[in-house]
Structures are given as C-alpha cells and as structure tokens.
Amino acid sequence: MVATLDLDDMQGLITRGYSTLRWASFLMLSITDPAGARAALGQLTPRVTSGRAEPSDTAVNLAFTADGMRLLGLETPGPEGFPEEFVSGMTDPDRSRFLGDTGENAPRYWRWGGPATPPVHAVALLYARDEPGLGRLEAEVRQVALATGSLAEVVRLGTAELTEREPFGFRDGISQPLIEGLPKATAAGAGSAAGGEVVKAGEFVLGYPNEYGLLTDRPLLPPPHDTAGLLPRVPGGTGADLGHNGSYLVFRQLRQDVEAFWGYLDEATRRPDGSGDPDARDALAARMVGRWPGGAPLVHAPLRDDPALATDNDFGYFATDRDGLRCPLGAHVRRANPRDSLDPRPGSAESVAIGRRHRLLRRGRAYADGGPGGGTERGLHFLCLNANISRQFEFIQHTWLNNPNFNGLYDSPDPLVAPRRNHRSTFTEQAEPLRTRRLDLPQFVSVRGGAYFFLPGLRALRFLCTATGEGGQR
Amino acid sequence: MPHQSAVTVLATVPPDRVDDVREVLNEANRQGAGEVFRFAEVAGVHFARLVLVPQGPDSTGTLLPPSVVYMSEVDVPPSVHLADLVRRAGDELDKVFAYCDGYPAGGASEGERVAWLRSHRVPCAAFYVNTVGRGRQQMLNEARLREAIEDFLDRHRAELSASSPTRIRAAVQEYVTGREDLAWARSRPASPALRWRIRQAAHLLGVPLGGLVLLPFLVIGLPVWAVLLRWRERRDVPSRERPDRDHVRELASYEDFAAQNPFTAVGAVKPGRFRRGTLTAILFVVDYGVRHFFKRGNLAGVKTIHFARWLFIDGKRRVIFASNYDGSLESYMDDFIDKVAWGLNAVFSNGLGYPRTRWLVLDGAKDELAFKHYLRSHQLPTQVWYSAYDTLTTHNLRTNARVRAGLFGTLSPAETEAWLALL
Ligand code: HEM
C-alpha cells in the first residue's frame, strides 16, 4: 500500500531541490539565548516553505543540530530519543575516523562545525530565483532571526548560481531516487524500468514505512510535553511524535581541487612524446566518475560522450558490465549506487531491493568563494536527506565510497571523492587483455565543514519555536 | 597443510579484580595487540582477541561471574598453539590471568601455565571457517604473489597490452619462475591431513545415520516441540532496550581501524530446559552445516565473514558469539537482516530479549532496528584484537587464491582471459 504523504507538513526540501530557484545560501546559526531564539525562529516559521506547491520566487527551510535541539529545550531522553549518530554528531572522534575525516580532513581544520569554530545549532537554507532576490531574502531572514541577538550567524555559505555541472565539470543531479507517493514516482509506475528508482517514503521521511515495511526510530515525547496538542500522536500510544514528516539533513562542505584534478589527469594521459591528449584525459576522468562530463553513463556510452544519453539513468551493471570493462568497478557512481551488483544474487530484483536500503536524496549546491589568498575555492555543499543516517549516508560514505576493498578491489577508495589518508590509493581501469592501474592517486576533495541536522516537519517546527516558549521546560 | 581450529580459554575473574584486568587489556590495546602478544611470531594465528565478559544475570536473574576470555583462530592444534603462545608472550598472559583462580603465578614453569590454559579451554558449539584449509602462511604468500604480478604488469604494460592473453600469462609465468622467493607458487597448496579428512567424512555420514536412528522419536517429537515453541514465542517478551550511549561509544572506539572488525557478544539463554535443548540442537545443526556445506567462502549468502564461533558458557546459561568480518558493524548487521535473518533467528531467538520470532526462523531480525539494538546491547568491547592480514577482505583472499591457482597449468583461452581479469 502506498502511504499518503502529508506534503503540507513537510519542509519543501524533501519533495524538491528547488531547481528553478538558482541562487541559494546557507546561514549557520548559533543560539545564544534559547528563549529569544525560540521567539525569533517562531517568527521565521511562517516563512518556511512546505512540500506542497513549487515555490515561485523564494524558499526557506530550517534544520537543527542535536545541540540546537537541546538548547531549544528538547531533551528526548531514553529509548524514544534521537539516534546516536545524530546525538553525538558528525565530529565525534570515532565517527570522524569512520567517515574518513582525519588528517587534513579533520574537524579541527574545518571552517565551520568543528571544535575550533563557534558551535552550529541551526541552519537556515535560503533559495531565490535571482541574485537580488536572494539578497532581499537574506536581509529579511537576518532581520527576523538576528535582530534580538539571541541567534548569531556563525557563517554564511554562499553558492554559485545553479547550473547542471558541478565544479569538476560533470553534469550532476541525474540519478535521484523517487519517493513513493509523490506524483513523479506514481507517473514512473512500479512496473517500468525506472520502477527500481521508486523508494518507500520512509527511507527519507520519518513516520512512513521504510523499505523494511517498518517505521524508522524517531523522537517521541511522553505526554506531558505537548499539552497544546500541536504534534501528531503516536498511533496506539500516548506519546507525541516529534519526528513525523521530518528528516535528517547531512551537510558537508567539500572543497574540490579543480586544478589538481585536471592537472593530474593531464599528466597521467600524456603521450610518450610529452604532448597532451585531451581525449584520453577526458576518458580517464569519465572512468573515475562513471559518467561523461555531459552525463552519459559509461555503461551505455563506453567510448565517447553522447549528448543523447545526457540524463540516461536506465541501466544496471551486472548484465551489461559485470567486469567493469565499460564502467570501472571503482567509479564514483558505481560505488555510490551499485544498482544490481550487490550480493547475494547480483543481477536480481533482490539485489536492487537491498540497494534501495542505501539511497540518498541529494540536495547539494556548488560554490565558488573568494579564498583567503585571493584565489577562489570551489566545491560542493553536499547536502542529502535520509531517515537513517547510519544505514544510508554513513554506510555509503564508509562501506562504498571510502572502502579501499569495495567490489573486491585493493587499495582503491573512491577515485573522485574519497580521502587518501596514509593509504596507497589506486585506480584501476579494467580492460582486455590487460587493466591499467593508476597508482598513488592524489586527493581531490577535502572536507571543510559539516554537521548532521534534523529537518523537522512544520508542526514540529511550530512546537519547537512557539509552544509555551517562555517556560523553557515543556 | 593445516585445517583451522578455534581456541577458546575462559577463566572467571573475582568481581573486585575486573577493573584490574580491564586495565591490563586497555594497556595492551594502547600498545597494540600484535606487539604485546607477538601474534605474528606465534605459528599460524589468523586472528586473536581478549575480552572481558562482564558479570551478568542469567534468565532467572541469578548473577553469573565475570570472566576473561582468550580466543584465536589458528592453523595448528590448540595445545600446540597455547604452548607457542606461552613461550612468546608468557609474561603478558601472566598479567591477564593473574587474578584467576589457580593460575600458576610467577616462577611456575611454561608447562604448568600451558596445562592451566588447556584446562580452561571451552569447546565451540559451532565454528565457521570462511575457507577450510587455507592457512595463514598461504594467504600471506598469495597476497605477495599477487602484488609481485601486479607490479610486473605495471612495469611492462606498454609491451604486454598489445599481446594476446596467452602471451601475457606466459610472460607472467616466466617472471614468477625466475623469482626464487616465489618458487612455492609452482605447486598447489597442500590439502589438510588425511586423518582429518577421514574424520570429517565420518562425521558427514555419521550424523545423518544417527539421525535415521532417532527418526521415529523425531517424528513424534517434532510436532510437540513446534506447539511448545509457538506457545513460548507468543509469551516471550522482546526487549525494548536501546543500547546505552556510553556502551555504544566504547564499542565504537575499538572499531573500524582495519578492513575487518571483530564482533563479540554475550547473551543469556531463555529460561528452561526447552530453550536450552533447542539451542543445543540448533547449534549442532549449524555446526554440521558449516563443517560440511558452508566451507567455501559463503555462509548462506554472507561472504564477508572470516571466522565465526558460538559457544556455551556458565553451564549453558549464557552463549558467546564471536566473529571476524569485513566492513563496518552497520554493513554486517544489514547483511544479517537482508541475507540470513532466518539463520540468526534460529540461534539467537533462544536468547533472552530477542525480537519476536514466528516458527523459530520468521520475523525476528527482520525487525531491523529492534535487531540492531539487540546486537549492540549484547556486544562486548573487544579490547585486544589482532588480525594477521588486516587490509585483506575475504573477497581479496579468494581472488589471491584464484590468481595462484590459475597461474600455472593448462587453461583454455576463455579461462586465460578470466584469469587475467582477476588482476
Ligand atoms: C565533491 C564531491 C562530489 C562530487 C564532485 C560528486 C560528483 C558526482 C557526479 C558527477 C555524479 C553523477 C551524476 C548523477 O548521477 O547525478 C554523482 C552521483 C552520485 N553521487 Fe556524488 N559527488 C561527490 C560527493 C558525493 C558524496 C560525498 C556522496 C555520498 C556520500 C555522493 C553520492 C552520490 C550518489 C548517491 C550519486 C548517484 C549515483 C547513482 O545513482 O547512479 N557523492 N556524484
């Protein structure tokens, strides 16, 4: 049975990436005075965009870190609370090791979100149709949120105008799971090839059945907490459901060293006489990604880019390319979503079903900032939504992207995005009769900031900000 | 050529000495398990660990004593292993077991210590080996062989990539033949000793024969058992416990340093002879299955486990499950749920607090988060852990073995291509 989604109660970022709102900025906020912050956020709440209608000019979404929730008076003690990874946060030392945030990626070097910078408690995600519009929106939001001084701006993260390409030059945002119950998913139909892309709403939104047919753990409050009755009640229980229609937002600022990336590719593909070979260079880049710069997947376009296949997403790996001869076994997209190549029965519907438990709704935006030395830092504000951070984001980051042994490989973390740490990093292009190994791959992407946020439903947001705001304890 | 065995030594610790033992283990962890116990020099050690099993209630609330447990997977007979270990790391073992009843204190001979350790061995109820007969030395050799071949191919790629697969393989053969240190690669790995193979064959046949004798009883007994089981399954109360935060943090602090992780868990068996009997029988079947059928890299769909063992302790009132697996705990638990939920249910549903099952094998682990909370709650920090090949997954080890197996000897053109694709 398909669950009916309460789009009016969801924040809009769940249902859409706001692709018509091409300008965005993210304000990282710190709570200095909880009561005042609640009031300020309460004033902002009516501006928050829901998942119902496509916004025409601007959109605002709000999310909170675990510390932020705590400061707003939301301790959810005991078994009904938030999951451990959210509570201890992205910068917990063991989690840093797990995510590969060590060495130069370590939180202590981060621009924001780490131990060396002011704490982040909330983020305001702002989107507008054009640059002046974004300026006005920012001014308005700052006016409401910062005026009383109970919230402080830790950092403003700007973005570049939304284009189809990420900073390395590849088309991005092609493959995205379809949330069951949304019109797009219904149109795709369960029987069609794209049916594999339709994923249960509960994988991204709390309060709906997930791919196991179960409800993911979510924060529930015992009855005395919500006397005003703002929150939905747990079916068959007395608790108030703070998680309903909410989601977890993973936010990572990933710096992309564009010069190093293309410089490496240039060097690696020079002809014996020392001259550059642009075709070979682009082909190697494409093999690292698994798609051509224009977007065509290597599984269908192994030899050259094909504009006709720019958004092609209708493919698997097992039947067409089990040995990685077209799309290397270690390519970024082949790791990030192995599609039908998962054990125990690659090529089967069961394999695809197992993969559906590890999907992400990506909502990232590219950025280009003036760096300290006058140079421009470019990268991706990687944002994604999921209902279970351990099983989805962290699993993909650790077990698929960073894993040097992924797909039976050796010393081979993700060639594009993984940290190298002090391990050997190899990228292998499978070929007949003989593979090519690229040894000692440099690191192209590094982490500059990050946090886990809870993106509450709108009722929960109103509850957080306005309900008996004076009392502190509710 | 060896067959791998599981060694377990368990000794109770006086409750007021648990913290001292924990400190010894922590210190060993800080210095590195491999350095302290010199496991690399002890013959044929694949993995080894030391854990503290805390004092805990059985299903009736009676407190069971804390104990310290040594476990290893080795290529030699357990008594040989223990003697070797005492020889290399006797002083360190002294610190670990110093507070245990009767441990031969300083001044005692090696022989006395070995005898004490042997007398504290606990047998496995079941022991899974990813690939029976593939010894540590073989694995390390094969890893070296593969690397040598890869380097050779890298150095000669330009000339070789224009050749035919058969030519390339011939070039590799020639290269390996020229390397004294890889001379062993020209022969096949030896198979386990004949005596052991005969014993295995006898077991393979003997168990079903025994089953035949018991068949009449089973036919009568099974329906009764099934009714009793269902009745109990409805009454048993699944735990709604979420793992304690500090506990989870402690566990996490020992995990995800290598390609593999250790998993150690302890749980109380549900009360009554019915559950104890059921679990004994199930583990007997598991043991039979892993000994004879799941011994080629695949435990009913899960391929990432190097070794796993189940053992009863405290007079069958508690059970230990210990394994070495590739990847993270999250991926391990997901594998359990997605691939062998039925198998886990059959065993663990006899444990107190396990998510509700139906007919022994249904539901249970399929309750994803309840199952994950259950495992995390029962997991023990593996303070001291050693892996002899901590960058190699089971997949890698299998590939390495195939590279060696296909290097010499005759292959068809298609087989030659498939062999080259391994590299
Ligand atoms: C700066 C870093 C990154 C860059 C430049 C990058 C680039 C790309 C590109 C070009 C694609 C192909 C376009 C598409 O299928 O939509 C892609 C796909 C994808 N990426 Fe990334 N990515 C980055 C980081 C990450 C991270 C950190 C994750 C997850 C933890 C991730 C997960 C994915 C997923 C799930 C897909 C879709 C794969 C599919 O469904 O076929 N990416 N990425």
Conformation bin of residue A62: beta by default, left when phi > 0, alpha when psi is -120 to 50? beta
Ligand 1: atom nearest CA of A397 is: 30
Res A375: pLDDT: 72
Residue with CA nearest ligand 1 atom 29: A397
Select from B242, B251, B415 the residue whose CB has the most chain A CBs within 10 Å, as the one to mutate to test that interface. B242
Q: Do A148 and A36 contact (CB within 8 A), yes or no?
A: yes
Identify the DSSP state of A215: B
* Cβ(A385) – ligand 1 distance below 6 Å: no
Instruction: Give the pLDDT band of residue B3 (cuts 50, 70, 90).
Output: confident
pLDDT of A374 above 90: no
Q: Does residue B412 belong to the interface with chain A, where contact is any CB pair within 8 Å? A: no
Higher pLDDT, A229 or A423: A229
Ligand 1: atom nearest CA of A360 is: 35
Residue % of chain B over a pLDDT of 70? 100
Q: How far apart are CA B395 and CA B403, in angstroms?
A: 12
Res A22: pLDDT: 97
Enter the pTM of the model.
0.96
Token look-up 């990282």 returns A28
Domain match, B142 and B269 both: no
Provide the number of CB pairs (under 8 Å) joining chain A to chain B.
102
Q: Of A389, A337, A353, which is closest to residue A87 (Cα–Cα)? A: A389
Res A233: pLDDT: 87
**What are B134's two structure tokens?**
């593939």
CB contact under 8 A, B393 and A405: yes
| Mean pLDDT score across all residues of chain B | 93
Q: Out of B241, B301, B395, name the one closest to residue A405 (CB).
A: B395
Domain match, B159 and B197 both: no
Select from B241, B306, B334 the residue whose CB has the most chain A CBs within 10 Å, as the one to mutate to test that interface. B334
pLDDT, tens digit, 9 for 90 and up, residues A123-166: 999 999 999 999 999 999 999 999 889 999 999 999 999 999 99
pLDDT, tens digit, 9 for 90 and up, residues A378-408: 999 999 999 999 999 999 999 999 999 999 9
pLDDT, tens digit, 9 for 90 and up, residues A8-32: 999 999 999 999 999 999 999 999 9
Domain match, B108 and B183 both: no
Res B391: pLDDT: 94
pLDDT of A423 above 80: no
The mean pLDDT value for A296-317 works out to: 96
Q: How far apart are CA B64 and CA B210, in angstroms?
A: 35
B252 CB neighbours in chain A (<8 A) are 94-95, 98
pLDDT, tens digit, 9 for 90 and up, residues B365-385: 999 999 999 999 999 999 999
Q: Does residue A216 belong to the interface with chain B, where contact is any CB pair within 8 Å? A: yes
Res B338: pLDDT: 92
Sequence-ordered strand ranges (E) for B25-152 = 45-53, 56-57, 63-64, 67-74, 126-129
* Cβ(A360) – ligand 1 distance below 6 Å: yes
**What are A158's two structure tokens?**
């700007």
Q: Do A55 and A401 contact (CB within 8 A), yes or no?
A: no
Q: Does residue B255 belong to the interface with chain A, where contact is any CB pair within 8 Å? A: yes
pLDDT, tens digit, 9 for 90 and up, residues B99-116: 998 999 777 899 999 999
Ligand 1 centroid to A386 CA: how many Å? 15
Q: Give the end-to-end CA distance of chain A in Å, rounded to a whole number.
A: 37
**What are A328's two structure tokens?**
């290397």
Domain match, B149 and B69 both: no
pLDDT of A342 above 50: yes
Report which residue type is found at B140.
Answer: L
Res A467: pLDDT: 54
pLDDT, tens digit, 9 for 90 and up, residues B281-338: 999 999 999 988 888 888 888 999 999 999 999 999 999 999 999 999 999 999 999 9
Res B108: pLDDT: 85
pLDDT of A234 above 90: no
Our mutation pick for probing the ligand 1 site, out of A262, A334, A382, counting the most ligand atoms within 8 A of Cβ, is A382
Res A236: pLDDT: 77
Ligand 1: atom nearest CA of A256 is: 1
Domain match, B359 and B410 both: no
Domain match, B46 and B78 both: yes
**What are A197's two structure tokens?**
């892309």
Angstroms from A326 CA to nearest CA on chain B: 13
The mean pLDDT value for B19-27 works out to: 96
Which is it for the CA torsion A296, A302, A304, A306, positive or negative?
negative
Instruction: Give the pLDDT band of residue B164 (cuts 50, 70, 90).
Output: very high
Instruction: Give the pLDDT band of residue A78 (cuts 50, 70, 90).
Output: low
Domain match, B365 and B324 both: yes
What is the CA angle A78-B320-B69, rounded to 5?
105
pLDDT, tens digit, 9 for 90 and up, residues B185-241: 998 888 888 888 899 899 999 888 988 888 888 888 899 999 999 999 999 999 988
Q: Does residue B155 belong to the interface with chain A, where contact is any CB pair within 8 Å? A: no
Res A221: pLDDT: 86
Our mutation pick for probing the ligand 1 site, out of A101, A159, A172, counting the most ligand atoms within 8 A of Cβ, is A172
Domain match, B119 and B165 both: no
State yes or no: ipTM above 0.90: yes
The mean pLDDT value for A436-463 works out to: 96
CB contact under 8 A, A344 and B160: no
Res A372: pLDDT: 57
pLDDT, tens digit, 9 for 90 and up, residues B252-286: 999 999 999 999 999 999 999 999 999 999 999 99
Residue % of chain A over a pLDDT of 70? 94
CB contact under 8 A, B396 and A95: no
Contacts of B378 (CB under 8 A, 6+ apart): B265, B266, B267, B351
* Cβ(A166) – ligand 1 distance below 6 Å: yes
Angstroms from B396 CA to nearest CA on chain A: 6
pLDDT of B60 above 80: yes
Res A472: pLDDT: 40
User: Which SS3 state, helix, strand or coil, does residue B13 take?
Assistant: coil
pLDDT of B17 above 70: yes
| Mean pLDDT score across all residues of chain A | 92
DSSP string across B213-234: HHHHHHHHHHHHHHHHHHHHHH
- H-run or E-run covering B88: helix B78-97
Ligand 1: atom nearest CA of A254 is: 1
Domain that holds residue B238: 5-132+193-387
Domain match, B94 and B203 both: yes
Q: Out of A216, A395, A434, name the one closest to residue B161 (CB).
A: A434
Domain match, B252 and B292 both: yes
Domain match, B142 and B112 both: no
Res A470: pLDDT: 39
* Cβ(A220) – ligand 1 distance below 6 Å: no
Ligand 1: atom nearest CA of A359 is: 35
Instruction: Give the pLDDT band of residue A196 (cuts 50, 70, 90).
Output: low
Instruction: Give the pLDDT band of residue A193 (cuts 50, 70, 90).
Output: low
Q: Does residue A95 belong to the interface with chain B, where contact is any CB pair within 8 Å? A: yes
Q: Does residue B422 belong to the interface with chain A, where contact is any CB pair within 8 Å? A: no
B355 CB neighbours in chain A (<8 A) are none
CB contact under 8 A, A408 and B368: no
CB contact under 8 A, A343 and B339: yes
Name the β-bridge partners of B47.
Answer: B73, B387
pLDDT, tens digit, 9 for 90 and up, residues A80-115: 689 999 999 999 999 999 999 999 999 999 999 999
**Overall number of domains in chain B:** 2
**What are A155's two structure tokens?**
């950092």
Identify the DSSP state of B175: H
Q: Do A241 and A232 contact (CB within 8 A), yes or no?
A: yes
CB contact under 8 A, A214 and B164: no
CB contact under 8 A, A94 and B160: no
Higher pLDDT, A188 or A372: A188
User: Which SS3 state, helix, strand or coil, does residue B73 take?
Assistant: strand
The mean pLDDT value for A447-455 works out to: 98
pLDDT, tens digit, 9 for 90 and up, residues A28-66: 999 999 999 999 999 999 999 999 999 999 999 999 999
Residue with CA nearest ligand 1 atom 7: A172
B395 CB neighbours in chain A (<8 A) are 405, 408
Domain match, B277 and B165 both: no
